Amino acid sequence: MASFTFVLEPFEVRVGSRTYHRFGLRGEVGPFGRAEVEYPVARDDDTNLFAAEVRGEHLPTARLTGRAYSYMPSLGGARVDIEGRQVILRRRWWALTRGGRALRLDHEGARYTYIAVGSGRDFELRRADTRVLLRRRGWAWGRVPVEGQASGPVNAVDMALAVLLEGVDTRNLTLSRALRWGPYRLMYALV
């Protein structure tokens, strides 16, 4: 498949009080048609878990459930399912380099790496010769447009994972952001 670019625009669904609003990103993702990631689509205030979900014309449904941080699920205690099949997640919490802190995903024999690139607000999903680069136009996580560039033999699962991870708080994939946001996360967990 040839390379292509796409843009995901932010949106908000107002449901009652602001506490229950839902947010997301949506757009046309090349040959896969319209796609959107929405969060939190499910929330469990007793266990403090939120979920983000990807839906699309030609994409499998993918869902990540993780500990709530603000209005997004985080990688803490995260579980990913694609069409009901679990994706294995691995990450080294104490690693010092970006490569070491990268998120590693295994799904039906395919191995993925989701790594911070550039200034730390851009991310790339890698699988063999496939790359999906996602660049945020600002620092407001989940509230700014995201420009994407896909290259290599990108399939529907690659694109679903890339779009899904844009609806997840992945700040801890760089050491500097993990150190900066650590005290806030601790305070948030204590409330």
pLDDT in tens, 11-28: 988 877 666 678 899 999
Q: Which residue has the higher pLDDT, 81 or 71?
A: 81
Residue 190 CA to residue 157 CA, distance in Å, equals 36
The angle at the Cα of 147, spanning 1 to 101, to the nearest 5 degrees, equals 90
| 161: three-class secondary structure by DSSP | helix
Residue 147 CA to residue 61 CA, distance in Å, equals 21
pTM of the model: 0.88
Query: What does the pLDDT look like over 19-61, one tens digit per residue?
Result: 667 889 999 999 999 999 998 887 776 677 889 999 999 999 9
Cα Rg of the chain (Å, integer): 16
